Amino acid sequence: MIWLLPLGVLAISSASILIRLTPADPLATAFWRLAFATSIVLAMGAVKGLELPRGRDLTYSLLSGVFLAVHFLSWIPSLFLTTVAASTTLVNIHPIVMLLLSRSLGERINRATAAGVLAATVGAILITFSPGGLLGDLLAAVGALSFAAYLAIGRVVRASVGTLGYVAVAYGTAALVSLGVGLALHINLVNYDWHTFFMFLLIASIPMMLGHTVFNYLLGRYRAVTIAASTLGEPIGATLLAALVLGERPTGTAVFDIFGVSVALPLQAIGIVVTLLGLFVVVLEEIKVSR
């Protein structure tokens, strides 16, 4: 099932672009993304059967939903306050946090995995070498920390709870928290045209269901640090899409002296190569561990 990781990465890479193209308040986008995703999960559960978590697992699932709400309520607004490249990179620094949490989750982390995570993170930072907004950068960092907590809790719950049951509670809780924040701040949540609601549905269907839900499924099979590290592929896809769709192009070059000839290479290209190499090492180690 490790092949599902690239599918999840491709799906979440579209999130930032779809969000930027949605003419709605960022907090409204967060709420409807989660509300539609919850509705899709409940519809799937009605067909396949839905066994909700109980006891400690229910408490953890609710807590996971709170962290997921914090993630979206901070990261989605950051997309409008800094560049897509900066936002998607900073929100994906959580693999570093996951390295610190892995031991408490009972996961074996060897030097190759740690080196792969660090290399992929450095590569992602190089991809986004462009100026951004400080507030947007800070919000993206908050999104990263909350996402790490969401993944860590999800890893614990998924050890004994099915994917649909877990995400039904987590997504539903996150939707309710987002709704409460939106109402408290008097955000426009419903006064949008059909096109905007269609964009909400796309965001819920592609990056949420094919991205987040796939990752939550894989949390039951693989280490949380591997799932976290794989999301570092998002800055690659999101940055390339932002350049094509939004015209946002990261700047910066690195000059190398090769046999007496100065060669200037874009940091973005270097970052992509380093990130992919780091992810390759992490996935390779995951395959060895899971055998």
230 versus 182: the higher-pLDDT residue is 182
Highest mean pLDDT among 75-89, 150-164, 266-280: 150-164
Percent of the chain with pLDDT over 70: 85
Q: What pLDDT is stored for residue 291 in this prediction?
A: 62
Would you state the structure tokens that stand for residue 22, as one six-digit string?
């949605």
Q: Side chain identity at 166, as an amino acid letter? A: Y
Average of per-residue pLDDT across 23-50: 94
Domain containing 201 equals 4-290
Would you state the structure tokens that stand for residue 188, as one six-digit string?
């426009």
Model confidence pLDDT, tens digit, residues 122-163: 776 666 555 556 677 788 889 988 998 999 899 899 989 999
Q: What pLDDT is stored for residue 267 in this prediction?
A: 67
Would you state the structure tokens that stand for residue 157, as one six-digit string?
């719950």
Q: What is the mean pLDDT of the chain?
A: 83
Q: What pLDDT is stored for residue 264 in this prediction?
A: 57
Q: What pLDDT is stored for residue 226 in this prediction?
A: 82
pTM: 0.81
**Number of domains making up the chain:** 1
Model confidence pLDDT, tens digit, residues 184-213: 999 999 999 999 999 999 999 999 999 999
